[in-house]
Amino acid sequence: MIKNTNKTIVYSLFLLFFSLFIFSCSDDSKGRSGKHDAKSRASGKKPSKTVPVEVQKPQMGLAASFYVTTATIEPSSDAKINARTSGIVKKILHEEGDDVATGDVLLILDDDDQQLRLKQAKQKLASATREYNRLNKMKKSGLVSPTDWDTAENNFKSAETEEQLAALALSYTRVAAPFSGRVVWREVDLGAHVGQGELLFRMMSIRPLLVRVHIPANRLGLVDVGQVVQLKVDNSSGVLDATISLVSPIVDPATGTIKITLRLEQYPENVRPGDFVEIQMVTDKHENAMLVPSVSIIEERGQHYLYIAKEGKAVRKSIETGYVMRDKTEVRSGISSADLVVVKGQRTLNDGVNIEILLADKQKPEDQNIKSDARKSMSEKNSKSGKRGNK
């Protein structure tokens, strides 16, 4: 009985010492872990994160200010053709859409009356001419009185004028194109009776086409005759070039604008008068300007900045921007032409963040040395780090 009691006591003591040992080890492990965490928190450092980015050097080129507006295309000539005499429509020789040259006959009216009037006028002129010639011979011999001679001369001139008027009236029955262009509208039908002054056709000259633009006087800038302006037509792909042909010498006092006339010489067949166009006109320009992709620039509270790659880190640079040309923006100050501007990945960056430089699949020839510049920058960083470690 005593032996069993002693065994029980020994077994209990063993369990007690084993439990104390386990608790001691666990507490020591927690202590070391806690000290490590406290040390990490005290240092305030987080595991470093490297952000992949693409970079590009600024380009030197032309920066321009554009005035963008819309207008409609107009013909260089637009005429309504009216009847100059009355009559029945006998023939229609051209239809809407036909291209005609100056003098081409568009329509013929019935001309029986005008033919007879012309024939009568010619007969009268022939009679007056014979009498005039007879008395002229007699006048040289002194056999004609001054009164008879004056009467014969006046009759001859009157008959000559009547013949010319009859020929002119006959010509009015043949309606001709006043200029080379296109028939865009026919108003009358075959067999219809038209009166003097009635509308017959509408014609337009479409070579060249014109665009009239009104721009604010304070935006006139470098706009001048001969300048090339880019047009984008609604129903045509691509960009067309027009030339400034006229700049109004006055300012419209009601609108404060100046009228600019553009000539469009070359254009696709589907471009027509009445089409809407978007006009992009250069009003100022800076030669040899520093240009960066517009996507690389970040705007915050009215300020502009971008990131450059330097010694393996992203460096935030405040910049002054100039003219914006869609995908390119002029940078007037804040960076140099040798800096590597971050063009992709910049939205996730902060100043001083570690970066890894990647190059786009298609690099321009002048950008082929970017990778070597980036490696050189990393090498300089590592060299400086090594020197600080040796110290």
Query: In this model, does residue 38 exceed pLDDT 70?
Result: no
**Given pLDDT bands bounded at 50, 70 and 90, which one contains residue 34?**
very low
56 with 128, same domain: the answer is no
What would the mean pLDDT of 362-390 be, rounded to a whole number?
49
Helices (H) and strands (E) in the chain, counts: 4, 19
Q: Which of 156, 172, 188 is the last residue of a domain?
A: 172
DSSP 8-state assignment for residue 302: T
56 with 143, same domain: the answer is no
Rg (CA), the chain: 47
Domain that holds residue 340: 50-63+288-385
Residue 309 lies in a domain: yes
pLDDT for the residue 75: 96
Cβ contacts of 231 within 8 Å, gap of 6 or more: 211, 239, 240, 241, 242, 262, 264, 277, 278, 279, 280
Query: In this structure, are residues 307 and 349 in contact, taking their beta carbons and an 8 Å threshold?
Result: yes
Q: Count structural domains, the chain.
A: 2
126 with 58, same domain: the answer is no
Query: In this model, does residue 208 exceed pLDDT 80?
Result: yes
Q: Which of 151, 172, 193 is the last residue of a domain?
A: 172
What would the mean pLDDT of 135-159 be, rounded to a whole number?
88
Q: Lowest-pLDDT range, 27-31, 106-110, 181-185, 347-351?
A: 27-31
For 351-366, how does the pLDDT look when each residue is reduced to its tens digit (9 = 90+)? 999 999 886 544 444 4
Q: What angle do CA 150, 153, 157 make, to 5 degrees?
A: 135
Q: How many of the other CB atoms lie within 10 Å of CB of 81? A: 20
pLDDT for the residue 194: 95
Q: Which of 120, 145, 172 is the last residue of a domain?
A: 172
Residue 255 lies in a domain: no
Comparing 367 with 134, the larger pLDDT belongs to 134
Residue 81 lies in a domain: no
Residue 254 lies in a domain: no
